Amino acid sequence: MTFNDLKLSAPLLKAVSEAGYETPSPIQAAAIPPVLAGRDLMGCAQTGTGKTAAFALPMLDRLTANAPRRKGAVRALILTPTRELALQIGESFEAYGKYLKLRSTVIFGGVGQAPQVEALKKGVDILIACPGRLNDLIGQGFIDLSALEIFVLDEADRMLDMGFFDDVTKILDRIKNRTNLGLFSATISQEVMTVSWMYQRDEVEITVAPTEESKPDIDQYSITVPRLEKEEAMLRILRSGALERVIVFCNTKVMCQRLSDDLRRAGIRADCLHGDIKQATREKTMADFRHGKLPVLIATDVASRGIDVDDVDGVINYDVPEENEYYIHRIGRTGRARKKGISFTLLGSFPEKAKLDEIAKFAGFHIVPMIFDEYGCLVPAPAEEKHPTSRRRF
């Protein structure tokens, strides 16, 4: 298949060819025709699969082919969780749309809003935005979404996992007459399904397997220790100095607090996030972790939402998570932005081992079993004997 077969217009074909793309990637081949036809789309795909062009190319074609509903109003919106992604998508739109007369701009928080407001005042067709700043600027009356035609939620799982569920639904509720809703997500979590169920109509579902390059690069280990020695095992990993920024996950608030107190007593800078921590303290802890002042953060699954730090070196699962999806989310905190990550799961009992085996099977992960040897070094566990040889009498 070629881009020509996908019936894209000549200016787009020219831009695509100048970008050096020869053939459409699987998600592009599958997503471009339904988006061109105005269908809603649920795409299960990761960064690195070519998903940006999969929604950008048909979106640009549709916007060019159809007359705007109202001059000067935003016609297409791409919502994405982080500033880095927003900027990357912005660059892609510039490249693919270089022979078209459509204007795009990128808005995100953490910087002054004046230049973004200036750009908006000049009129933009395509807006690429992070949810927090978008809601701020809508609230201040700088953005009118009433003539929006196409809406894409990019990295929906990560966005919803970061606690943007209410922001996202607030934005979706404002849009009455859109024609396309595209939802792209690496995993289809419960919240992603809820958004799809609430806002999509007769959507086309597409799943593409992650390419080798797009898979997060995380070395996953399990460590079997006697139940009462889990804390000692965690301290050994933390003290080895191999990891500069670590998140330790526990299943309960009580365990989070206890570990945090114990680590501090042991002279390790650590703090915890759980449901009973006040908002102001929580924000300070997150800022310290983000800025590298706090090397160890201990969190429950729910409290860890909203932590968006790209260079977490490692994750330690002090407890094996109760839900399979939690494991994927936990280890997904590391190995981001094309860096290598590492995860350790401590196993102190047979039920914990059994649960981790189930998770590995569910997610298709290879988790390497390790133990501490007599010198305290982490070494591969001896292979389990599947069929223990029966004792022989001679």
- Residues making contact with ligand AMP (CB under 6 A): 21, 24-25, 28, 47-53
Region of 282 please: left (phi>0), alpha (psi -120 to 50) or beta: alpha
Taking the least distance from each CB to ligand AMP, the nearer of 45 and 359 is: 45
Q: Other CB atoms closer than 10 Å to residue 215's CB: what's the count?
A: 13
Q: How far is the CB of 56 from ligand AMP (least distance, A)?
A: 8
* Helices assigned H by DSSP within 293-376: 324-331, 350-363
Taking the least distance from each CB to ligand AMP, the nearer of 55 and 318 is: 55
Q: How far is the CB of 199 from ligand AMP (least distance, A)?
A: 23
Q: How far is the CB of 210 from ligand AMP (least distance, A)?
A: 10
CA distances from 1 to 8, 26, 34 (A): 13, 10, 16
Structure token pair of residue 123:
């009129």
Instruction: Report how far residue 258's alpha carbon sits from residue 215's, in angstroms, rounded to the nearest whole number.
Output: 34
Taking the least distance from each CB to ligand AMP, the nearer of 13 and 297 is: 13
Instruction: Report how far residue 45's alpha carbon sits from residue 48's, in angstroms, rounded to the nearest whole number.
Output: 9
Taking the least distance from each CB to ligand AMP, the nearer of 11 and 48 is: 48
Residues shown for the chain:
394
Instruction: Report how far residue 181's alpha carbon sits from residue 42's, in angstroms, rounded to the nearest whole number.
Output: 8
The three-state secondary structure class of 180 is strand
CA distances from 4 to 1, 18, 32, 204 (A): 8, 14, 12, 22
Taking the least distance from each CB to ligand AMP, the nearer of 236 and 339 is: 339
Q: How far is the CB of 43 from ligand AMP (least distance, A)?
A: 11
Q: How far is the CB of 167 from ligand AMP (least distance, A)?
A: 23
Q: How far is the CB of 20 from ligand AMP (least distance, A)?
A: 7
Q: Is 258 exposed, middle or buried (0-12, 13-18, 19+ CB in 10 A)?
A: middle
Taking the least distance from each CB to ligand AMP, the nearer of 184 and 199 is: 184
Residue pair 136/63 in contact (Cβ under 8 Å)? The answer is: no
Taking the least distance from each CB to ligand AMP, the nearer of 49 and 116 is: 49
Taking the least distance from each CB to ligand AMP, the nearer of 23 and 281 is: 23
Q: How far is the CB of 86 from ligand AMP (least distance, A)?
A: 13
Give the full edge-to-edge strand order of the sheet including 218-224. Answer: 270-273, 296-299, 246-249, 314-317, 341-347, 218-224, 368-372, 378-380
Q: How far is the CB of 28 from ligand AMP (least distance, A)?
A: 6
Residue pair 136/113 in contact (Cβ under 8 Å)? The answer is: yes
Instruction: Report how far residue 115's alpha carbon sits from residue 277's, in angstroms, rounded to the nearest whole number.
Output: 36
